Amino acid sequence: MRHIFFISSLFAVFFFLPTESNAQTESGVAEINFEVSGVCKMCKKRIENAALTKGVKFAQWDKNTQMIKVIFKPSKITPLDIHNAIANAGYDTSLVEAPDEAYKELPSCCRYKDGIEVH
Ligand SMILES: [Cu+2]
């Protein structure tokens, strides 16, 4: 009985990990959450499409929290590759800044570095 309580408290810890964490979800698959700057629905599409590269199973970005959730296969792709893919689409991540050329490709309503607010 005592060890059942111990195991269930381990699960509780697992479920309440902070958002910026690397949690192993199912075998061979991992989840990461990190910040990506963007302002609108079009940004969301571009950010998620950029994140959905080979080895990525799921990507969902929230414009209000500026956070993306990515589920990927660590055997196929690294978190840094995912950050780079998003940055190359013109969006700063918590690890990688978007190259100027990529940022300039964004429509003017999506230029989040120019003081445009989320809409
Ligand atoms: Cu946009």
For residue 60, how far is its CA from the centre of ligand 1 (angstroms)? 15
Q: At 39, which CATH number?
A: 3.30.70.100
With respect to residue 101, please indicate whether it lies within any of the assigned structural domains.
yes
For residue 66, how far is its CA from the centre of ligand 1 (angstroms)? 12
Greater confidence (5 vs 16) lies with 5
Beta carbons of 5 and 82 less than 8 angstroms apart: no
With respect to residue 9, please indicate whether it lies within any of the assigned structural domains.
no
With respect to residue 65, please indicate whether it lies within any of the assigned structural domains.
yes
For residue 44, how far is its CA from the centre of ligand 1 (angstroms)? 7
For residue 92, how far is its CA from the centre of ligand 1 (angstroms)? 13
With respect to residue 5, please indicate whether it lies within any of the assigned structural domains.
no
With respect to residue 52, please indicate whether it lies within any of the assigned structural domains.
yes
Q: What is the pLDDT of residues 6-49, one digit of tens each?
A: 555 555 555 544 445 555 556 799 999 999 999 999 999 999 99
What is the C-alpha to C-alpha distance for residues 48 and 52, in angstroms, rounded to an integer?
6
Q: 0.85 cut: is pTM over it? A: no
From residue 63, alpha-carbon distances to 71, 112, 119 in Å are 18, 11, 8
Residues 6+ apart with CB under 8 A from 65: none
N- to C-terminal Cα separation, the chain: 52
How many domains does the chain fold into? 1
With respect to residue 91, please indicate whether it lies within any of the assigned structural domains.
yes
With respect to residue 71, please indicate whether it lies within any of the assigned structural domains.
yes
For residue 20, how far is its CA from the centre of ligand 1 (angstroms)? 24
With respect to residue 35, please indicate whether it lies within any of the assigned structural domains.
yes
**In which domain, by residue range, is 100 found?**
19-114
Q: What is the pLDDT of residues 93-116, one digit of tens each?
A: 999 999 999 999 999 999 999 999
- Give the count of beta carbons closer than 10 Å to the beta carbon of residue 34: 20
What is the C-alpha to C-alpha distance for residues 58 and 104, in angstroms, rounded to an integer?
27
